Amino acid sequence: MDKLEQRVKELNKLLYDYGYAYYTLDTPLVSDAVYDQYLNELIALEEQHPSLVLPDSPTQRVGASVSEGFQKVTHTTPMLSLSNAFSEEDLLDFDRRIRGMIDETPTYVCELKIDGLAVSLLYEDGILVRGATRGDGTTGEDITTNIKTIRVVPLRLKDNVTLEARGEVYMSKASFQKLNEERAEREEELAANPRNAAAGSLRQLDSKIAASRNLSMFVYGMGDSEVQNIDAHSEALNYFSVQGLPTNKETRVCSSMEEVIAFVQEWTAKRTDLPYEIDGIVIKVDEYAQQEELGFTAKSPRFAIAYKFPAEEVVTTIIGIDLTIGRTGVITPTAILEPAQVAGSTVQRASLHNEDLIREKDIRIGDRVIIRKAGDIIPEVVGVILEERKGTEIPYEMPTNCPACDSELVRIEEEVALRCVNPTCPAQIQEGIYHFASRNAMNIEGLGEKVVEQLFREQLVKDISDLYKLTVDDLVKLERMGLKSATNLVEAIESSKTNSMERVLFGLGIRHIGEKAAKILSETYHHFDALMLANKEELIQIFEIGEKMADSIITYFEQEEAVQLIERLKEVGLALQYTGKIVDAATLENGLFAGKTVVLTGKLTQLTRQEAKEQIEALGGKVAGSVSKKTDLVIAGEEAGSKLEKATSLGIETWDEQKLLDQLAE
């Protein structure tokens, strides 16, 4: 065991150093393959010997199981916010106020104001033990498992110190764009800006989702700390850096207000060059002694201020309005603009969302309009400059018929959107084929929007089953399609035939049936034939399948066209079978843990945690990460700590590992 323990420690150290070099210093020491090799070795060792999992092991970053909800956290020192400055005049006032209150001349630290959300990191003896949101400033939420997925956040500091570091978690512009591209592909609502996207990611109860979002962080202040001999904010920032915490390198110590204003002007001009969003500059008095003298108002410190950038707005002309038809038939009007530069990029289109918005803002073709980027990313029309109206502008009328198939558009109940409800509308079918091939559905690489458009136009593909009849000869005739890409695409289509049922089901684009519902239905029915025979009563019995979803499934398979489509998919060779783990519905409903929420804590010696979790789930239980009033049972292994205490205090039933094994054997 000693040797193994030694190796586990070695691997932890190596992976920590490589990770820090890669994520925080941005200077990789080894290739990804080498990193993965060490990581896999560690994962294997930890799986065989769960007792060797160190609290700061890099394997803890991948995200743990879904938690029930977040525990509340009380901030010992409240997390305040800053008062704002909107002009240079405001900044000069701030400086005058400070000089009036202290005797010495202050030195300021200027920092970028990162547009994300404030988070507190608590390290005890050098180990990250808690990550929490700001919440209302006094009480936040414990988001430790999500925080651990952020690569730049060290799970262990260089020294064994106890301190609370505060900073901003954010999503880079690139990750934000990737996220929204994926959402657009799935016809999901887009995130408005990187800040909302980062906040949403941290709120995920499933930390695997947070892990996939590529969040990052900069640390900008010290909370409660036992560290001695730090007398100024700039020293704290240096100290953070030495301890391996991520600090922002664009920070500047300024000895006069002129220098501060120069910094502000510099970044007002350069902000769009950064790979992440900033919404201003934060100016802080450097010396802690002076900070103390200045003190706080009720809401914010007097020793710091946030200068906020004005949102960039630009005037341009609407030269037309285009309509796009989504997979579900929703018609979205988009303004076509005379190209304009806004916040670092050229904008030519801005979504007008729906007819009501056009009415409300009285937008006409030919109008001069103010545009800006919402959250500095998604272009939107702020309003019309009525003073510039010449009278030649043309009011816009939404069509009554679909621009693609000419069938009459309808407005469904309380929806503002107009919809084309013709199931054979070519625009919708085309979007549907594209969705079927997309990453989270059949994942057919090389079948992008442009290719689908051509296949459809050339009548090579009329519905998704035709994809499976395509030959290399068919494909090479398309624009920009070489022999190699054509061969690859045919292979990708071929190999998608054996995809598990849930991918096909999600790919069909049945209303209300997202990825998760498709998975649950596939786990339950195993094959399309069985699902197609299901009735509503049966469907709503399934945990997490609601009435809307059940109705939607029934309505879909009642259509003769749908049944025929599935028939054609069978003919071309799709397996339509669930190939994932089989969970028996009867055991789920009547199993030992049916409907129960179970928490595992402490070290298990005879089962791995994963094994225990799988067995509990197979018997109908849900395994949660933290103890709350909703917990039904806590299984406590050796050296169980706070979770067991909490369970006892809440009067929740607890078992030891042996009792679990005995019960499972029965």
The tokens for 383 are 């309003």
Cα separations in angstroms, 322 against 286, 319, 337, 411: 54, 10, 11, 19
Cα separations in angstroms, 439 against 446, 463, 506: 10, 18, 11
Q: What is the 3-state secondary structure (H, E, C) of 88-139?
A: HHHHHHHHHHHHHHCCCCCCEEEEEEECCEEEEEEEECCEEEEEEECCCCCE
Q: Shortest distance, CB of residue 20 to ligand IVH, whole angstroms?
A: 22
Stretch near ligand IVH under the rule CB under 6 A, chosen from 296-304, 461-469, 556-564, 565-573:
296-304
Q: Does 237 bind ligand IVH (CB under 6 A)?
A: no
Neighbours of 552 (CB within 10 A): 17
The one-letter amino acid code at 268 reads: T
Burial category of 652 from C-beta neighbours within 10 Å (exposed 0-12, middle 13-18, buried 19 and up): buried
Q: Shortest distance, CB of residue 91 to ligand IVH, whole angstroms?
A: 16
When the beta carbons of 282 and 618 are compared against ligand IVH, the nearer one is: 282
Stretch near ligand IVH under the rule CB under 6 A, chosen from 108-116, 344-352, 356-364, 504-512:
108-116
Over the window 377 to 416, marking each residue x when it contacts ligand IVH by CB under 6 A and - when it does not, the resulting string is: ----------------------------------------
Q: Does 446 bind ligand IVH (CB under 6 A)?
A: no
Q: Does 286 bind ligand IVH (CB under 6 A)?
A: no
Neighbours of 590 (CB within 10 A): 11
Interacting positions 639-658 with ligand IVH (CB under 6 A): none
Q: What is the 3-state secondary structure (H, E, C) of 588-606?
A: HHHCCCCCCEEEEECECCC
Q: Are 467 and 492 in contact (CB under 8 A)?
A: no
Stretch near ligand IVH under the rule CB under 6 A, chosen from 86-94, 106-114, 422-430, 623-631:
106-114
Distance in angstroms (rounded) separating the CA atoms of residues 45 and 53: 9
Distance in angstroms (rounded) separating the CA atoms of residues 491 and 296: 66
Number of residues binding to ligand IVH, judged by CB under 6 A: 15
When the beta carbons of 81 and 498 are compared against ligand IVH, the nearer one is: 81
Q: Shortest distance, CB of residue 195 to ligand IVH, whole angstroms?
A: 10
* Mode of pairing for the β-strands spanning 364-365 and 345-351: unpaired
Q: Does 574 bind ligand IVH (CB under 6 A)?
A: no
Q: Shortest distance, CB of residue 120 to ligand IVH, whole angstroms?
A: 11
The tokens for 377 are 């990313």
Q: Does 118 bind ligand IVH (CB under 6 A)?
A: yes
3-class DSSP state of 311: coil
Q: Does 301 bind ligand IVH (CB under 6 A)?
A: yes
Quick check: is 113 catalytic? yes
Q: Shortest distance, CB of residue 110 to ligand IVH, whole angstroms?
A: 9
When the beta carbons of 300 and 328 are compared against ligand IVH, the nearer one is: 300
When the beta carbons of 261 and 521 are compared against ligand IVH, the nearer one is: 261
Q: Does 80 bind ligand IVH (CB under 6 A)?
A: yes
Distance in angstroms (rounded) separating the CA atoms of residues 292 and 106: 13
Of the residues 72, 113, 270, 497, which is catalytic?
Answer: 113
Which listed residue (108, 220, 239, 307) binds ligand IVH by CB under 6 A?
220
Distance in angstroms (rounded) separating the CA atoms of residues 321 and 318: 8
Q: Shortest distance, CB of residue 168 to ligand IVH, whole angstroms?
A: 4
Interacting positions 153-182 with ligand IVH (CB under 6 A): 168
Residues that bind ligand IVH (CB under 6 A): 80-82, 111, 113-114, 118, 168, 220-221, 282, 300-301, 304, 306
List the catalytic residues. Answer: 113
